Amino acid sequence: MVRSWEKIVWMLVFVMAVAVAAGMLGAGQAEAAVAEAVAADALRLGEVLAGPARDWDGDGVFDAKNDEWVEIANAGGAALALDEYRVADADTTIRYAFSGTLAAGAVLLVTGSQALAWQRSVGRTTSGLSLNNAGDTVFLLRVAGGDTTVVDEHKYGSIEGASDRSTGRADSASDTWILFDALNPYTGSGTPSGTGCPPTPGGPNGCTTDVGMTTWGAIKRLYR
């Protein structure tokens, strides 16, 4: 199945080929433009936890603002520079600006405490990620010059926003989002339905093993 962003890239390839044939662009310019578009589309949201009820950022203290988190993933085949990318919520307020690079296939976790630190460093209101537990939309934006592009977005509701539940892609290659509710099982009849899978902050999404009783300390040790 061809995803929507793949269709856009193939359309861009066609347009660039026409431009080269017409002498409007050199082959090198066209190749660079296509490579840039592919790289931009390779970055995506991976997982979101809006309703923390424990110390997710690992600072030893639970704080509802500090312990929210958003994860992004590089689904492409090459490392990707992150300096143009931002996270925003439903009111399109930028909550965090990325920097550095992300390796192919890697994921990056951003906590509310990191968002607060970035906001202080640039003189913004310290609101953190501001993820609404009752439902919100998370945007991954690319800001280049005066242009802002929505690279990816995910809208979630109150089921996903409940305490210590996250919502994320079923796996790194999937466009299907599921509920990770092992820490706070959802047994209702709404959607998304409960999966019994644990949240996977900073790691690959998935639920390949049976979920059993454990401790929060054991869960945190998985991600150190």
Element (H, E) at 36: helix 27-42
Q: pLDDT band at residue 27, thresholds of 50, 70 and 90? A: low
CB 112 within 8 A of CB 128: yes
Does residue 8 belong to any structural domain of this protein? no
Q: Is residue 183 part of a domain?
A: yes
- The reply to whether 30 falls in a domain is no
The stretch 188-214 carries a mean pLDDT of 82
Whether residue 128 contacts residue 89, with contact meaning beta carbons closer than 8 Å, is answered with no
Query: Which residue range(s) make up the domain with 82?
Result: 43-221
Looking at the domain assignment, is residue 77 inside a domain? yes
pLDDT at 116 over 50: yes
Mean per-residue pLDDT, 179-192: 97
| Residue 9 within a domain | no
DSSP per-residue letters across 51-69: ---S--SSSSS--TTTT-E
Q: Is residue 62 part of a domain?
A: yes
Tokens for 208, please give them.
């390949």
Only one residue has tokens 């861009």, namely 12
Comparison of pLDDT for 42 and 211, the residue scoring more: 42
**pLDDT computed for residue 9 by the predictor:** 42
Number of domains in the chain: 1
pLDDT tens for 83-92 read: 999 999 998 8
Contact 129, 115 (CB under 8 A): yes
Share of the chain above pLDDT 70, in %: 75
The reply to whether 27 falls in a domain is: no
Report yes or no on 154 lying in a domain.
Answer: yes
* Stretch 45-60: mean pLDDT: 98
